[in-house]
Amino acid sequence: MTRPLIGLTTYAQDTRFGTVDVPAAVLPLTYVRAVHTTGGRAVLITTDDPGDDVLHGLDGIVFTGGSDVSPGYYGAEPHPLTVSVPERDEAEMLLMRAALASPGLPVLGVCRGMQLLTVASGGRLHQHVPDVVGHTGHMPGDDQDGHHGVRLAPGSRAAAVMGTEAPVNSFHHQAVADPGRLVATGWADDGLIEAVEDPDAGFVLGVQWHPERTDDLRPFAALVEAARIRAVVTRARMAA
């Protein structure tokens, strides 16, 4: 069958083409490769023309990493180190709310994507992780991932994907403080929430780490499989 179409959110950034800097839709290719490697077909979603109509052609969606989610969405004042991008927040919050309201649409949130998922579900964030845990292990410098273990709740979707314990990477300075309507199902050794999910949905999962930057693509594989099943069911109904 046709490979399931997986949307990937992107961000806008001036990028050099030849000798000229021009606005571009940007996303690390690791996300695209993660989708393709696990059997999906990646579709990039830009922030310039927000609308939920893009979901109509997708079998699943990944909300990717990047800038901080504006604390205005959960009624907090910005921390001095919080850096948000209003255009991206607006476009992706609209898209996230529509995705969660779309029956059975598989959703995976990665890092910022998990935080966006949480805020859209009525939750709140820690705006600067070192203020909470007392160390910088989750946000190492020199563009290197911090490596640590996570424990995942038995019986959860996160555990079904990763097992009850797994080594992961991280590169973030914000994190989930209150999961809102979601359920926290993964934690680092210091107690920081590393996975959230909606147990009442078909596949709605957020992970704080960056699986696309590793060889362990199980969260992407699980999303693509859920999208494949949804696509088969949807197309069978349309053909009936």
Q: Report the catalytic residues.
A: 111, 210, 212
- Cα 89 to Cα 231: distance, rounded to the nearest angstrom: 28
Instruction: Find, among 109, 36, 98, the residue nearest to 66 by Cα.
Output: 109
Integer distance in angstroms from the first to the last C-alpha of the chain?
A: 17
DSSP class of residue 57? G
* CA 210 to each of CA 60, 138, 154, 158, 203: distance values in angstroms, whole numbers, following the listed order: 18, 12, 22, 14, 18
Structure tokens at 98: 């529509």
